[in-house]
Amino acid sequence: MNNIPFLVFARKLPDKFYLGLKFYKEFGRFPNWKNPQSYNEKLQWLKLYDRRPEYVTMVDKYAVKDYVSSIIGGEFIIPTLGIWHRPEDIEWDALPNQFVLKTTHGGGNEGVIICRDKTTFDRQKAIDLLNNNLKLDLYYISREWPYKNVPKRILAEKYIEPKSNNKDLADYKFFCFDGEVRGLFVATERQNPNGEVKFDFFDSDFNHLPFRQGHDHAGVTPAQPKNFDLMKKIAQQLSKGIPHVRIDLYDLEDKVLFGEYTFFHFSGLVKFEPEEWDYKFGSWLKLPHKYE
């Protein structure tokens, strides 16, 4: 089936109707809009009814840097190397030997381009990928409202890696509910060319949780990071007053760096295995009054 005509048609569908169809496709039922109970269906409710203007800044990968700096300080921010509107405007010669490129309006990890050696870097491939990413619109794909008005730009950042010999930069993603960390997952093996990323879920005390979502567990369970307590504190500060958000952080052993705000984990469209954890997470999410 050609997806292009469907996507053109889908853009015209009202958000609630479109989200109901997407949810039904994944879970075999429609969301309970009047009394949602599971975590995934509550995320769909938040897409529709928790639309605070500041969320637009918080998901903008460039604008969020000043926002976060004002709360926890600039030392937790990955340095910016450049910002452009088109790939043709990138000042390649001014970039260091190692850097990271991404679009400011989202696109997931697939949209992140990593250069570890500029002498072997495929510039044209990067330009083509960036042009494709600039055409993506997460709002129309998943109706994640905060992305609707984010300016589409290209961001270059400093390349970061852990201090140890382990080149796998783990990603720590904290599930926060009105400023309280209730759990997290650790993404590992992103750099493994022969396999896919692994996700391991933990409670707020870093006890491994017995469920999976989206990806298998790592062969070796990740150890508690050195700066775990500091990361929890940062996540709590950045999520205060927000019904639910995921705070993504990096632990470089000698410091912690902010990654991004994620309001809709997996867009609320990926099953928990076993399903009871969907309702466990849902019990932690207290929905606010409608804000439109």
Locate tokens 């879920």: which residue? Answer: 201
Locate tokens 């870093």: which residue? Answer: 206
Give the type of residue at 153. R
Burial of 47 (0-12, 13-18, 19+ CB in 10 A): buried
pLDDT of residue 136: 86
pLDDT of residue 194: 61
CA torsion, ordered 279, 284, 288, 292, to nearest 10 deg: -60
Residue pair 241/255 in contact by the 8 Å Cβ criterion: no
Non-local (6+) Cβ contacts of 234 within 8 A are 72, 76, 247, 249, 256, 258
Rounded to whole angstroms, the Cα distance separating 89 from 153 reads 11
Non-local (6+) Cβ contacts of 213 within 8 A are 185, 199, 201, 266, 270, 271, 272, 273, 277
How many other C-beta atoms lie within 10 A of the C-beta of residue 127? 18
pLDDT of residue 170: 84
pLDDT of residue 1: 42
How many other C-beta atoms lie within 10 A of the C-beta of residue 119? 5
Rounded to whole angstroms, the Cα distance separating 250 from 184 reads 13
Non-local (6+) Cβ contacts of 79 within 8 A are 157, 158
Specify the DSSP class assigned to residue 38: S
**Which helix (H) or strand (E) covers residue 186, if one does?**
strand 180-188
Residue stretches of the chain with pLDDT short of 50: 1-2
pTM of model > 0.85: yes
Token pair of 184 as six digits? 């997290």
pLDDT of residue 30: 98
pLDDT of residue 268: 98
Rounded to whole angstroms, the Cα distance separating 205 from 232 reads 10
Residue pair 102/155 in contact by the 8 Å Cβ criterion: yes
